[in-house]
Amino acid sequence: MRKQKGFSLIELLIVVAIILIIAAIAVPNLLRSRMSANEASAVGSMRSINTAEVAYSTNYPTVGYSVLLADLGGTCSATTAPTSTSACLIDQTLAGATSANTSKSGYYFTYAQVGGGPGYTLNGDAAQQGSSGVKHFYTDASAVIRYNTSAAATASDAAIQ
C-alpha cells in the first residue's frame, strides 16, 4: 500500500466548517465595530461644526451663524480669502454631507439656521439606519450633543457624556 499524500476530503471539509464557524462569529462583531466607529465620527463631525460656527459668528458678526452648512466649507488658498459663503472652516466632505447619498462616514447632517442668525440646529442621521449606525444625533448653539436611538434626536434627548 502507498503512503497517502495530501488531505482527505473529510479533513478539508472539517477545516472549511471551522473557518465558516469563526467567520460567523467575527462578522457581526465587525459590523458593530464599524457602526460604533461611524457614530464616533458623527459626534466628532458635529463638534467640528459647533467649533466652526463659533469661529464663523466671530468672523462675520453681522451674519451671525452660517445660513447653510456649505457656508462653513469652501476652497480657500493663498490667493483666495474666506468669505461669509465660503469660510473654509470645515472640509468640503463634511460641508457637503447633507444627504444619504453624500454622507460622511455613514452619517449625513441636516442644518438649519434659527431666527435669522441667533441660533442653529444640526441633526446627524445614519445614511442607512441599522447598517451604518443606529443613533440619531442633535446639537444646537449650546454645543451640547444629544442622541436618540429610536427617532430623530431633539433638544430634550439625553446628552453625550
DSSP codes joined into one string, 105-156: TTEEEEEEEETTTTEEEEEEEESSBTTTBS-EEEEETT---EEESSS---TT
Q: Is residue 1 part of a domain?
A: no
Instruction: Print the domain residue range for 99.
Output: 10-159
**Alpha carbon distance 141, 64 (integer Å):** 11
- Residue 83 within a domain: yes
Assess if residue 3 is contained within a domain. Answer: no
Write down the pTM of the prediction.
Answer: 0.84
pLDDT tens per residue, range 63-82: 889 999 999 998 888 888 89
Looking at the chain, the number of H-run helices and the number of E-run strands are 2, 5
Domain assignment of residue 46, yes or no: yes
Residue 57 banded pLDDT, cuts 50, 70, 90: very high
pLDDT at 115: 79
Q: Give per-residue pLDDT as tens, 114-123.
A: 877 689 999 9
Question: And the C-alpha cell for 9?
Answer: 476530503
Q: Is residue 5 part of a domain?
A: no
Number of structural domains found in the chain: 1
Is position 4 within any domain?
no
Is 70 exceeded by the pLDDT of residue 1? no
